[in-house]
Structure 1
Amino acid sequence: MFKNNSNQVRAGWIIFLAFLAMFIAQQIFAIPGGVLLAIADFPFQDGNYNMDIMATFDRHPWIFLLTQGGGTVGGMLATVLLWRFVNKGTLRELGFSGPLKDLGFGLLLGAVSIAVIFFILLASGNVDMVNSFTKPEFTVYSLSFLVLFILVGFFEEMFFRGYVMSTMERRGNPKWLIYVVSAVVFSLVHGTNPNVSLLGLVNIALVGILFAYMFDATKSLWLPIGYHITWNYFQGNVFGFAVSGTAPHGIYNVSIEDGNTWLTGGPFGLEGGLLATLLIILGFFGTRLYVRMKAE
């Protein structure tokens, strides 16, 4: 039950224990932000205090960054330590290898994918712009969420692709199973997000398979990290859509009230729409083309 035919602890147990350790580390590293939030916001104002934690964080973007970003850093640190001392691997073996142009292509592909979805929705009348292209609204969120999404991109790819996939590969699991486990776990973790939808979870699993393919095809985390960062940032902080159900703070603001939910994704964000499904699939072709061009 606990060991495979080679007398090794099964990958599933290692990943499960790593997930627990990572989760605990996230909670510990998020504590300073939670304490600061209590100090900054818990004095009741006018006797009408809003106990909605996300609304509270919205009033304090830097505290939100300290809390969420701190938790993300904790998860990254736990992943690195587990990989080094439990898996006996190096950062290079975890996936930090290969040329940085992979990161650049990932950043470009993620940004272009979201931009294509946005312009299709705009041209088809499924979204309306609240402010024009000539009047972007830069706020503190434009910077704080850039930092946060960079951290999220690194952490989630380090764990769900680097750690999970490499651990399973070392135990001799078939490639299809490695892809599926990485993607399904990645999707399930997002299952507690606000306004979650079935199509949203399917798309997150699909993009998880895309990330797995990017990692496998390049033998590096740089490409999926880049795509992950700009996919999130352009969705929420450029074009103003919710990101996996979380509140948007875009430099452009859009209204989806008159749009088709199957296309816009509704309150869950673009990841809950069929256009995201299409662009994720096109991402496989873009990655394949890029890898072929690199090999020439």
Structure 2
Amino acid sequence: MFKNEANQVRAGWLIFLAFVAMFIIQQLFALPGGILLAIVDFPFQDGNYDMDINAAFARHPWIFLLTQGGGTVGGMLATVLLWKFVNKGTLRELGFRGSLRDLWFGLFLGAVSITVIFLILLASGSIDMLNSFRSPEFTVYTLSYLFLFILVGFFEEMFFRGYVMSTMERRGNRKWLIYVVSALVFSLAHGMNPNVSILGLVNIALVGFLFAYMFDATKSLWLPIGYHITWNYFQGNVFGFAVSGTEPFGIYNVSVENGNDLLTGGAFGLEGGLLATLLIVLGFFATRVYVKMRIK
């Protein structure tokens, strides 16, 4: 049950234990931000204090970055330590190899994908812009969320692709199973997000397949890391859509109230819509073309 025919601990147990350890360390690293928020935001105002944690973080974006970013850094550290001391692997074997050209293409592809979805929704009247292209609203969130989404892109690809896929590959699992497990675990990890939808979880699993394909095709984490960063950042902090259900702070702001949720994704964000499904599928073709050109 616990070991395979080669007397090795099965990949599933390694992944499960890594997930639990990573979660615990994330909470520990996020704790200082939570304590600071309580100290700074706790005093009652006229006896009518708003206990909404999201509203409190909205009042203190840098504390939010400290809390969420701290937890993300903790997850990255846990992944590296588990890979090094439990799996006996190097960072290169985890996926940090290959050309940084892959990172730049990933950044480009993620940004273009979200921009295409935005333009289609705008042209079809599915969304309403609340500020014009000539009046971008730059705020502290524009910078703080850039830092956060860079950390998220690195952490989630290190764990869900680098750790999960490489651990399973080392145990001789079939490629299709490696893809499925990586994508499903990635989707399930987003299952408690606010305003979650079935289509949203399906699309997150689908983009998990895309990230797995990018990692497998390039033998490197750089391409999925780049795509992941700009997919999130352009969605939430450029065009002002919710990101997997979380509140957006875009330099442009949009309303999806008059649109079809099947296209816009509704309160969950673009990942809950069919246009995201289409662009993710196109991402497979774009990656295939890029990899072929990269080899030449």
In structure 2, the residue matched to 1:227 is 227
In structure 2, the residue matched to 1:138 is 138
* C-alpha separation in 2, matches of 1:188 and 1:51: 28
Deviation for aligned residue 1:52 = 1.2
Q: Give the letter aligned to residue 91 of structure 2.
A: L
User: How do 1:1-296 residues align onto structure 2 when only pairs under 5 Å count?
Assistant: 1-296=1-296
Identity score, percent = 83
* C-alpha separation in 1, matches of 2:260 and 2:46: 40
* C-alpha separation in 1, matches of 2:90 and 2:121: 44
Q: Which deviates further from its counterpart, 48-57 or 92-101?
A: 48-57
* C-alpha separation in 1, matches of 2:80 and 2:27: 17
* C-alpha separation in 2, matches of 1:162 and 1:54: 31
Deviation for aligned residue 1:272 = 0.1
SS of the equivalent of 2:147 reads helix
Residues 54-86 of structure 1 deviation map (CA, whole Å, 9 limit, x = unaligned): 111111100000000000000000000000000
Deviation for aligned residue 1:126 = 0.2
Q: When the two structures are superposed, what TM-score results if normalisation uses the length of structure 1?
A: 1.00
* C-alpha separation in 1, matches of 2:225 and 2:155: 9
SS of the equivalent of 1:190 reads coil
Q: When the two structures are superposed, what TM-score results if normalisation uses the length of structure 2?
A: 1.00
* C-alpha separation in 2, matches of 1:8 and 1:149: 36
What is the Cα-based RMSD across aligned positions, in Å? 0.4
* C-alpha separation in 2, matches of 1:49 and 1:285: 51
* C-alpha separation in 1, matches of 2:254 and 2:12: 42
Count how many residue pairs are aligned between Structure 1 and Structure 2. Answer: 296
Deviation for aligned residue 1:224 = 0.1
* C-alpha separation in 2, matches of 1:287 and 1:265: 25
Q: Give the letter aligned to residue 225 of structure 1.
A: I
Q: Give the letter aligned to residue 120 of structure 2.
A: I
* C-alpha separation in 2, matches of 1:245 and 1:257: 15
Deviation for aligned residue 1:53 = 0.8
* C-alpha separation in 2, matches of 1:55 and 1:246: 12
Residues 233-289 of structure 1 deviation map (CA, whole Å, 9 limit, x = unaligned): 000000000000000000000011110110000000000000000000000000000
Q: Give the letter aligned to residue 88 of structure 1.
A: K
Deviation for aligned residue 1:49 = 1.2
Task: List gaps (5 residues or longer) in structure 2.
Answer: none
Residues 204-233 of structure 1 deviation map (CA, whole Å, 9 limit, x = unaligned): 000000000000000000000000000000
Q: Give the letter aligned to residue 5 of structure 2.
A: N
